[in-house]
């Protein structure tokens, strides 16, 4: 599976690469945010899987929250180790 892993302070997020790219492209068409171009370039230059850290790509935190709110991906709590899978693959997605 092509995945994007986002390392935040208290959690590790994993998302389907296609969902991430779709949301980035959607946001890019709606907003002029320089970091969107940077994220698209970084992910385009990575192989099938990529890892982003909060320290290097803080704006991705907003993208991660949008994906979580849409029921996308999974989250592992760094403190307790519990994993949360938000929606089965293939379910409809709604991005606002």
What are the distances in angstroms from CA 2 to CA 20, 51, 82? 10, 11, 22
Residue owning tokens 């307790």: 80
Q: Which two tokens stand for residue 68?
A: 């979580």
Looking at residue 84, its pLDDT comes to: 86
Residue 12, pLDDT score:
94
Q: Walk along the chain (96 residues) and give the pLDDT tens digit of each residue.
A: 688 999 999 999 999 988 898 889 888 877 778 888 889 888 888 777 889 999 898 889 989 998 988 888 999 999 998 888 876 655 555 444
């Amino acid at each position: 599976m092509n995945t994007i892993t986002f390392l935040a302070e208290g959690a590790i997020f994993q998302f389907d690469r296609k969902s991430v790219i779709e949301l980035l492209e959607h946001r890019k068409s709606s907003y002029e945010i320089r970091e969107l171009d940077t994220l698209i370039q970084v992910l385009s230059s990575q192989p099938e899987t990529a890892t982003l850290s909060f320290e290097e790509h803080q704006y991705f935190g907003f993208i991660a929250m949008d994906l979580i709110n849409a029921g996308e991906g999974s989250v592992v709590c760094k403190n307790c180790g519990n994993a949360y899978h938000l929606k089965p693959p293939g379910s409809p997605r709604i991005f606002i």
